[in-house]
C-alpha cells in the first residue's frame, strides 16, 4: 500500500468513525457511591462499619443466562480509596488453593470488580481475590500491573466473604467523577460467572460498553485531576557463573515513569535488565512455525501496551514483537489516553542500533456500536539495516445485529525489501459474533518481503482466505454436561507464483461435565511450505514442497480450570515426510496446603515415509526415524501472600523432530559464539551449526527460583535457566526497589 493511499484510507476511516460517534447511553445500572470519613473494617467480615455501603446484587448467571446463587457486593468510598466487599453463598465445594498473590487466583473460585475510570474507552482495572483473600490484578495500563492494595477473605457457614480496599492513587482516572464498573463472581465447579450488570445482546461479562456506572467518585470531585505518582525503579543484578559462560558479573539499571497529565506518562530506561528470569520453560511440542515469547522488560510492559491493536484479524502479522529487540542501553517513551484516543511512542537505543515506534488509536464503544482505527509505525536503523513498517487496522460492529466488518493494511520498506511490490500486507473480512457464536470470513495477502525486522510474521508470501465458525451450547446448571463447544476452521493460501503454500482445515468438539471432566476431540489437516533457510535444515534453498503438519486426536482432562489439573493428550497424523505420533501426560498434585507437585511426560515418535521424500533429498540419504521424550517435574511452594519458591527438573532425550525443537525467537549471539554457548545462553536461538532436525539430544536441566514482592521491594534468587537445553550453571541475585508508585503503575 503506497503512502498516499494509506493517508487517504486513514482520513476516510477517521471521518467515518467521527461520524459514528454518539453519546453512550446510561443504563439502569447506576450507583451513587456514599463517602465515609474512615475506611470500613478490612478483616473479611461485613460488620456495622459497612452499614452505609450500597448493596449490589451479583446474582445473574451470565454463563447460563438465569438467576444464580445469592451473592451481594458492597461499595463505599473513603478519602483515599474505594472499599468493596462480597458476600458469597456457595453450595458447591469451594476451590481455594492459591496462597501467593498472582495469576493463579483465576484457577480458584474468586470475586472480581472491574473499573473503567475514564469510561469504556479508557484504561481498565480488574481486582480479584479468592476465598482466602489472595489477590491478583490486571490493567490495560501495564502488563506488569502489581500495585499494593488490600484484600481479606474468610470462609463462612454458607460460603465466603471478601473485603477489598483499592486506593484511588493506583488508577488513572483523569479526574472523572463517573466510572464504569462491573462486579463478578466465578465458581469453578459449575464453570459459572455471575454479574451485577447484564444487558440483552451483551457478548461477555466484562464488556466495557455495557458496564454499570458509579457516580460521585470522591477523587473526581477535586478541582483538578489527581496526577498519578511518578515511579523510579532501580535494580541490581549479580550473576555468579563459570568463566566458560562469561564469568561472574553484575549490573545495575533504572526504569522511570513520570506522569505528564492524569492519563499520560513519560518513560525512561537506562541499562535495562535482559535476564528474563520469568519466561516459560522449554517445550518439544511440534509446530510448523516459530514460537512466541512474552515480554517481561518493564520498559516495554508499559510502553508497548497501546501497540498492536487490531479490531479483528486471522493469521495476522505482528509488526511490533518487542522480544525481537535486543538488549539496549537506554529507552524513552511517551504513552497515554485522551478521550477516545490512546497513543504511544518509544525509542530504544542500543549499540549502533535504534528501534523506534509510534501509534495512535481511536476507539468508540457503547451499547449500540463499536468502532476503531489504529495507526502504527515501527522502524529499525543500524549501519547495515533500515526497516520501516506502517500499518492501519480498522473495524466496526453493530451491537444490535452482531455483524462486524474490518480492514487491515500495511507496508514494509527498507534494505531487506528487494521489491516494494511484494512488501505490502492487507486483510479484510467480516462476520457475526455474539455470546455463544462466532463466524468469520477473511481474505488476506502478505507479500514475500513483508517481514518487519522488529515483528513476527507466521509466514510471508501468502494470499488467500480463512473461515472460522465457533459455537458454544450451554445446558442447565443441573445437567450432566455444562457445555459443548464446537470449533471449526478452513483456509487456503498461495504464494506469489500461484503455488499453494499454506492450507488448514479442521475442527474440535469440547465436552465439559459437571464433575470437572473435559473431553476434547480434534482433527486437523494443514500444509506449509517451509523456509529451510530459516530453520537451517539444509544449507541451500530447496525446490518447492508443501509439507503436511496434521494433528488428530483427543484430550481427556480433569479439573482443567483449577490449579491442580490432570490431562492425557494424544495426537497423530501425516507430518513432514512421514507420520508423527505424540502423547502428553500432565498432572499437578497437592502435596500439602501450600505445596504443589507438577509432573509431565511428553513423547514424540516420527517415522519417515520414503515415498513422500522428494528425489533430491533421497539422493542425500533417507531421513532417519526420530523419537524424542521430555520428562519434567517441578515443585511450587507458596510460603505466603508475597513469596514463592519453585524447583524444576527436566530431561530431553532422543532425536529432534523436524520443526519440533526451536530456541526462543530472540536476537542471536555473535556468529563466532561456540555452539555450546549459543545452546545455553539466556538469549539462545537456533544456529546453522547447532541442533538441526534429527540431531540426537540427551540433556537435563535443573533450576530453581525464589520470588518475593511486597510493598516497594522485589527480590529474585534464581539458579539456572529453564529455557536452555541443559543446566545453565549460573546463580542470579536480583533486587528491585520501587520509589514512588508501585510495580506496573
Cβ(729)–Cβ(721) below 8 Å: no
Spatial separation of the C-alpha atoms in residues 23 and 500, rounded to whole Å:
48
- What lies within 8 Å, CB to CB, of 347 at 6+ separation is 331, 332, 333, 354, 355, 356
Model pLDDT, residue 744: 79
Model pLDDT, residue 535: 38
- Reported CATH class of domain 33-221: mainly beta
Model pLDDT, residue 293: 66
Q: Which of 671, 664, 676 is nearest to 688 (CA)?
A: 671
Model pLDDT, residue 120: 82
Spatial separation of the C-alpha atoms in residues 628 and 285, rounded to whole Å:
10
Spatial separation of the C-alpha atoms in residues 615 and 545, rounded to whole Å:
12
Four-residue CA torsion sign, 548, 554, 560, 563: negative
Q: Which of 282, 286, 281 is nearest to 582 (CA)?
A: 286
Spatial separation of the C-alpha atoms in residues 587 and 565, rounded to whole Å:
6
Q: Which of 464, 455, 465 is nearest to 417 (CA)?
A: 455
Q: Provide the 3-class DSSP secondary structure of residue 534.
A: helix
Q: Taking the mean position of all CA atoms in its chain, how far away is CA 541?
A: 35
Model pLDDT, residue 332: 97
- Which of 7-21, 151-165, 306-320, 714-728 is modeled with the greatest confidence? 151-165
pLDDT tens column, 532-542:
443 334 433 45
Q: Which of 117-126, 249-258, 408-417, 615-624 has the lowest mean pLDDT?
A: 615-624
Q: Which of 165, 136, 149, 212 is nearest to 50 (CA)?
A: 165
Please compute the mean of the pLDDT values over residues 721-733 and round it to a whole number. Answer: 82
Q: Which of 271-275, 577-581, 717-721 has the lowest mean pLDDT?
A: 271-275
Please compute the mean of the pLDDT values over residues 280-289 and round it to a whole number. Answer: 56
Model pLDDT, residue 681: 32
pLDDT at 618 over 70: no
- Supply φ then ψ for residue 269, to 5 degrees: -140, 130
pLDDT at 716 over 80: yes
Give the number of other Cβ atoms within 10 Å of residue 148's Cβ: 16
pLDDT tens column, 7-49:
433 443 333 333 333 333 334 589 999 999 999 999 999 999 9
Please report how many Cα atoms fall inside a 13 Å half-sphere around the Cα of residue 36, on the Cβ side.
21
Strand ranges, E, within 418-565: 424-433, 437-446, 462-474, 481-494, 500-513, 517-528, 547-548, 551-558
pLDDT at 589 over 80: yes
- Supply φ then ψ for residue 303, to 5 degrees: -65, -25
Model pLDDT, residue 286: 61
Helical (H) or strand (E) element with 356: strand 353-365
Better pLDDT: 206 or 57:
57
Q: Where does residue 247 rank: exposed (0-12), middle (13-18), buried (19+ CB within 10 A)? A: exposed
Q: Which string of DSSP letters, residue by residue, matches 97-132? A: ---SSSGGGGGS-EEEEEEETT-TTS--EEEEE-TT
Spatial separation of the C-alpha atoms in residues 605 and 660, rounded to whole Å:
11
Spatial separation of the C-alpha atoms in residues 701 and 711, rounded to whole Å:
33
Please compute the mean of the pLDDT values over residues 699-722 and round it to a whole number. Answer: 87
User: What percentage of the chain reaches a pLDDT higher than 70?
Assistant: 84
Model pLDDT, residue 4: 41
Cβ(594)–Cβ(635) below 8 Å: no
pLDDT at 724 over 90: no
- At 555, list the grid cell: 484430550
- At 95, list the grid cell: 476451590
pLDDT tens column, 436-472:
999 999 999 999 999 999 998 888 899 999 999 999 9
Beta bridge partners, 469, equal 439, 488
Place of cell 479508557: 122
Please compute the mean of the pLDDT values over residues 239-256 and round it to a whole number. Answer: 88
Better pLDDT: 50 or 209:
50
pLDDT at 358 over 80: yes
Q: How confident is the model at residue 64 (pLDDT cuts 50, 70, 90)?
A: confident
Q: How confident is the model at residue 545 (pLDDT cuts 50, 70, 90)?
A: confident
Q: How confident is the model at residue 276 (pLDDT cuts 50, 70, 90)?
A: low
Q: Which of 76, 67, 155 is nearest to 108 (CA)?
A: 155
Model pLDDT, residue 616: 56
Beta bridge partners, 82, equal 77, 166
Model pLDDT, residue 549: 87
pLDDT at 200 over 80: no
Give the number of other Cβ atoms within 10 Å of residue 510's Cβ: 17
Spatial separation of the C-alpha atoms in residues 381 and 354, rounded to whole Å:
5
Model pLDDT, residue 720: 84
Please compute the mean of the pLDDT values over residues 576-602 and round it to a whole number. Answer: 92
Q: Which of 276-290, 304-318, 712-726 has the lowest mean pLDDT?
A: 276-290
Model pLDDT, residue 3: 43
Four-residue CA torsion sign, 417, 420, 422, 424: positive
Strand ranges, E, within 168-311: 179-187, 192-195, 212-215, 231-240, 249-261, 264-270
Q: How confident is the model at residue 281 (pLDDT cuts 50, 70, 90)?
A: low
pTM of the model: 0.83
Q: How confident is the model at residue 263 (pLDDT cuts 50, 70, 90)?
A: confident
Spatial separation of the C-alpha atoms in residues 667 and 581, rounded to whole Å:
32
The DSSP secondary-structure symbol of 35 reads: B
Q: How confident is the model at residue 345 (pLDDT cuts 50, 70, 90)?
A: very high
Better pLDDT: 289 or 564:
564
The DSSP secondary-structure symbol of 222 reads: S
pLDDT tens column, 82-106:
999 999 999 989 999 999 999 989 9
Model pLDDT, residue 246: 79
Cβ(125)–Cβ(117) below 8 Å: yes
Beta strands 125-129 and 81-89 are unpaired
Q: Where are the domains of the chain?
A: 33-221
Beta strands 403-414 and 386-398 are antiparallel
Model pLDDT, residue 503: 93
Q: How confident is the model at residue 664 (pLDDT cuts 50, 70, 90)?
A: very low
Please compute the mean of the pLDDT values over residues 616-630 and round it to a whole number. Answer: 75
Spatial separation of the C-alpha atoms in residues 341 and 358, rounded to whole Å:
14
Model pLDDT, residue 28: 58
- At 208, list the grid cell: 466495557
pLDDT at 168 over 80: yes
Please compute the mean of the pLDDT values over residues 213-226 and round it to a whole number. Answer: 65
Better pLDDT: 17 or 429:
429
Q: Which of 336, 304, 332, 338 is nearest to 318 (CA)?
A: 304
pLDDT at 1 over 70: no
Amino acid at each position: 500500500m503506497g503512502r498516499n493511499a494509506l493517508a487517504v484510507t486513514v482520513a476516510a476511516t477517521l471521518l467515518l468513525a467521527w461520524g459514528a460517534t454518539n453519546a453512550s447511553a446510561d443504563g439502569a445500572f447506576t450507583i451513587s457511591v456514599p463517602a465515609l470519613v474512615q475506611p470500613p473494617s478490612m478483616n473479611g467480615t461485613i460488620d456495622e462499619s459497612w452499614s452505609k455501603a450500597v448493596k449490589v446484587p451479583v446474582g445473574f448467571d451470565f454463563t447460563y443466562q438465569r438467576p444464580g446463587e445469592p451473592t451481594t457486593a458492597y461499595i463505599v468510598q473513603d478519602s483515599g480509596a474505594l472499599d468493596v466487599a462480597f458476600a458469597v453463598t456457595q453450595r458447591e465445594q469451594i476451590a481455594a488453593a492459591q496462597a501467593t498473590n498472582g495469576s493463579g487466583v483465576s484457577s480458584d473460585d474468586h470475586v472480581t470488580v472491574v473499573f473503567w475510570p475514564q469510561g469504556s474507552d479508557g484504561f481498565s482495572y480488574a481486582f480479584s481475590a479468592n476465598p482466602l483473600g489472595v489477590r491478583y490484578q490486571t490493567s490495560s495500563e501495564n502488563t506488569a500491573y502489581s500495585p499494593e492494595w488490600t484484600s481479606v477473605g474468610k470462609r463462612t457457614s454458607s460460603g465466603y466473604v471478601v473485603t477489598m480496599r483499592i486506593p484511588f492513587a493506583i488508577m488513572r482516572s483523569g479526574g472523572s467523577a463517573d466510572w464504569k464498573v462491573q462486579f463478578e463472581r466465578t465458581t469453578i465447579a459449575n464453570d459459572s460467572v455471575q454479574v451485577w450488570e447484564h444487558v440483552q445482546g451483551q457478548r461477555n461479562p466484562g464488556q466495557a460498553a455495557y458496564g454499570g456506572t458509579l457516580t460521585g467518585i470522591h477523587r473526581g470531585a477535586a478541582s483538578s485531576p489527581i496526577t498519578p505518582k511518578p515511579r523510579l525503579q532501580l535494580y541490581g543484578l549479580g550473576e555468579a557463573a563459570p568463566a566458560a559462560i562469561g564469568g561472574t558479573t553484575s549490573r545495575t539499571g533504572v526504569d522511570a515513569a513520570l506522569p505528564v497529565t492524569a492519563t499520560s506518562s513519560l518513560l525512561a530506561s537506562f541499562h535495562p535488565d535482559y535476564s528474563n528470569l520469568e519466561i516459560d520453560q522449554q517445550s518439544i511440542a511440534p509446530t510448523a512455525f516459530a514460537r512466541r515469547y512474552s515480554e517481561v522488560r518493564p520498559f516495554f510492559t508499559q510502553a508497548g501496551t497501546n501497540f498492536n491493536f487490531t479490531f479483528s484479524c486471522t493469521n495476522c502479522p505482528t509488526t511490533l514483537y518487542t522480544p525481537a529487540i535486543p538488549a539496549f542501553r537506554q529507552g524513552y517513551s511517551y504513552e497515554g489516553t485522551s478521550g477516545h484516543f490512546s497513543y504511544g511512542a518509544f525509542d530504544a537505543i542500543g549499540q549502533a542500533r535504534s528501534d523506534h515506534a509510534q501509534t495512535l488509536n481511536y476507539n468508540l464503544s457503547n451499547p449500540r456500536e463499536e468502532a476503531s482505527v489504529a495507526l502504527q509505525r515501527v522502524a529499525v536503523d543500524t549501519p547495515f539495516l533500515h526497516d520501516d513498517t506502517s500499518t492501519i487496522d480498522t473495524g466496526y460492529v453493530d451491537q444490535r445485529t452482531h455483524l462486524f466488518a474490518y480492514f487491515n493494511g500495511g507496508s514494509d520498506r527498507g534494505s531487506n525489501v528487494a521489491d516494494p511490490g511484494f512488501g505490502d500486507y492487507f486483510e479484510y473480512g467480516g462476520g457475526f459474533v455474539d455470546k455463544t457464536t462466532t463466524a468469520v470470513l477473511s481474505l488476506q495477502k502478505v507479500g514475500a518481503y513483508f517481514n518487519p525486522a522488529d515483528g513476527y510474521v507466521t509466514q510471508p508470501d501468502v494470499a488467500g482466505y480463512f473461515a472460522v465458525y465457533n459455537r458454544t451450547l450451554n445446558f442447565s446448571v443441573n445437567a450432566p454436561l455444562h457445555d459443548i463447544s464446537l470449533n471449526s476452521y478452513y483456509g487456503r493460501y498461495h504464494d506469489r507464483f500461484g503455488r499453494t503454500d499454506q492450507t488448514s482445515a479442521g475442527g474440535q468438539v469440547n465436552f465439559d461435565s459437571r464433575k470437572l471432566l473435559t473431553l476434547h476431540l480434534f482433527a486437523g489437516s494443514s500444509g506449509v511450505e517451509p523456509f529451510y533457510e530459516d530453520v537451517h535444515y539444509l544449507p541451500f534453498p530447496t525446490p518447492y514442497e508443501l509439507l503436511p503438519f496434521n494433528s488428530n486426536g483427543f484430550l481427556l482432562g480433569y479439573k482443567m480450570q483449577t490449579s491442580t489439573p490432570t490431562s492425557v493428550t494424544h495426537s497423530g497424523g501425516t507430518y513432514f515426510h512421514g507420520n508423527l505420533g505424540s502423547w502428553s501426560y500432565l498432572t499437578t498434585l497437592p502435596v500439602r496446603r501450600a505445596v504443589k507437585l507438577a509432573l509431565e511426560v511428553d513423547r514424540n515418535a516420527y517415522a519417515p515415509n520414503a515415498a513422500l521424500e522428494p528425489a533430491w533429498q533421497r539422493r542425500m540419504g533417507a531421513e532417519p526415524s526420530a523419537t524424542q521424550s521430555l520428562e519434567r517435574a517441578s515443585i511450587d511452594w507458596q510460603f505466603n501472600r508475597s513469596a514463592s519458591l519453585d524447583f524444576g527438573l527436566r530431561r530431553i532425550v532422543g532425536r529432534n523432530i523436524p520443526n519440533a525443537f526451536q530456541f526462543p525467537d530472540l536476537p542471536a549471539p555473535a556468529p563466532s559464539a561456540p555452539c555450546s554457548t549459543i545452546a545455553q545462553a539466556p538469549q539462545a536461538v537456533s544456529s546453522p551449526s547447532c541442533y538441526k532436525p534429527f540431531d540426537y539430544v540427551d540433556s537435563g536441566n535443573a533450576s530453581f527460583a525464589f520470588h518475593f514482592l511486597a510493598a516497594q521491594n522485589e527480590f529474585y534468587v534464581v539458579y539456572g535457566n529453564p529455557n536452555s537445553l541443559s543446566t545453565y550453571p549460573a546463580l542470579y541475585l536480583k533486587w528491585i526497589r520501587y520509589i514512588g508508585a508501585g510495580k506496573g503503575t
